[in-house]
Structure 1
Amino acid sequence: MTDRRRAILTGAARVIARQGVRGLRVADLAAEAGVSTALIYYHFKDRPGILRHALAFIGDRADRYTATWEGEAGPGPSDPRGLLERTLLLEFQDLPEVRENSTAWGELRAHAVFDPELREDLAAAGAAWVAEVAGHLAALCPAAPPGAVTAAAERLTALLEGLSVRWLSGLLPVAHARGLLREAIGVELGRLGSPASPAPRID
């Protein structure tokens, strides 16, 4: 990705987080990214193109920041339980980039109610996330039926999204959000018959 394209998408995520999808104006995006409106249209053709690429950018950025815990030194966990917790709990890092990303994702998700085209892209991104979580659950619970594993992944990712909204809105402290999600992970693993013992806390 070129530096200018990255700047535009970074600006798009920031404007969407701050003003919502309906508040995303190409002129505002150009000012945020420090580029011309013509360059934005050159790269993304139209407003729906900006939204689709912004959604993909937000997903890619989440993949990057969920690879490293805030202040973590050395390699992360390699065990299935640790990888599962990392995938979910790192969405609650109290960092500007994480807050911006989560807020923009929520704005895009809300707008998809009225935008069938965006809904398809959002559904694909959500399905990929559920599949990633289901993969970690399946590694921990190899005897569990695939349908039950997928349903558990859907519940955990849906809970995370709801907790994230409350955390971002100031209704829930980040440590409490992490604790609730960690408990839910334990409940789902118990349902699936995981023999794994509780993982050490990641705070």
Structure 2
Amino acid sequence: MSERQKSILDAAVRVIARAGVRGLRVEQLAAEAGISTALIYYHFGDRAGLLRRTLEHINEDAAGYTQQAAAKATDARGELELLLLLELQDTESVRTNSTAWGELRASAVFNEDLREPLAESTRVWVDEVAEVIRRAQASGSASPLADPLDAAERLTCLVEGLSERWLSGSMTIARARKLLRGAIAAELAER
């Protein structure tokens, strides 16, 4: 991806986080990115293409900050906790990414063009979490009775819900992180 495209997508994430998907206007995005509207259409084709690429961009950013930090974990169980807890960081980039992701997810209910890319992104995330759970099981730090895919699905759903509550002010980030840690322990415990 070119620097220009990255700049446009960074601006799209900010605008969506601030105004929502329905509030995203190409003219507003062009102003935010400091470019012409024609350049947006040149790089992304249409609004649907822009939204799909923005979703991919959010995922790439999230993968960057979670994988980099998770690589510092000393075991698979610690990697799993970091992988999920890093989605609940009180930093500008995580708040912005999480808000835009939530907006795109909610918009997929009404926008069929977003459904498949969102479903694919979710499948990738669930599969990554399931793989870490399998490694935790292999190392003995997670119950062999837990179904990795089911546990990953429940945990990623929980992260999305906790993130939404935290971002909307319904819950503190400390409470969200505490609940997530408890859920990880419960999912990976002997049954």
TM-score class, shorter-chain normalisation, is over 0.9
Return the letter of the residue paired with 1:168: L
Aligned residue number for residue 201 of structure 1: none
What is the CA–CA distance in structure 1 between the aligned matches of 2:67 and 2:135, rounded to whole Å? 19
Offset from partner CA, 1:145-181 (integer Å, 9 cap, x none):
78x2111100000011100011111121111111110
Q: TM-score, normalised by structure 2?
A: 0.92
Give the deviation of 1:117 after TM superposition: 2.0
Give the deviation of 1:67 after TM superposition: 3.7
Aligned residue number for residue 117 of structure 1: 113
What is the CA–CA distance in structure 2 between the aligned matches of 1:39 and 1:117, rounded to whole Å? 22
Give the deviation of 1:65 after TM superposition: 1.8
Aligned pair count? 186
Aligned counterparts, 1:1-203, within 5 A: 1-67=1-67, 76-142=72-138, 144=144, 148-191=147-190
CA contact (8 A) 2:75 2:136 kept: no
Q: TM-score, normalised by structure 1?
A: 0.87
Unaligned runs of 5+ in 2: none
What is the CA–CA distance in structure 2 between the aligned matches of 1:99 and 1:189, rounded to whole Å? 28
**RMSD between superposed Cα atoms in Å:** 1.6
Quick check: which one's helix share is greater?
A: 2
What is the CA–CA distance in structure 2 between the aligned matches of 1:158 and 1:173, rounded to whole Å? 18
Aligned residue number for residue 199 of structure 1: none
Identity level (%): 56
Unaligned runs of 5+ in 1: 70-74, 194-203
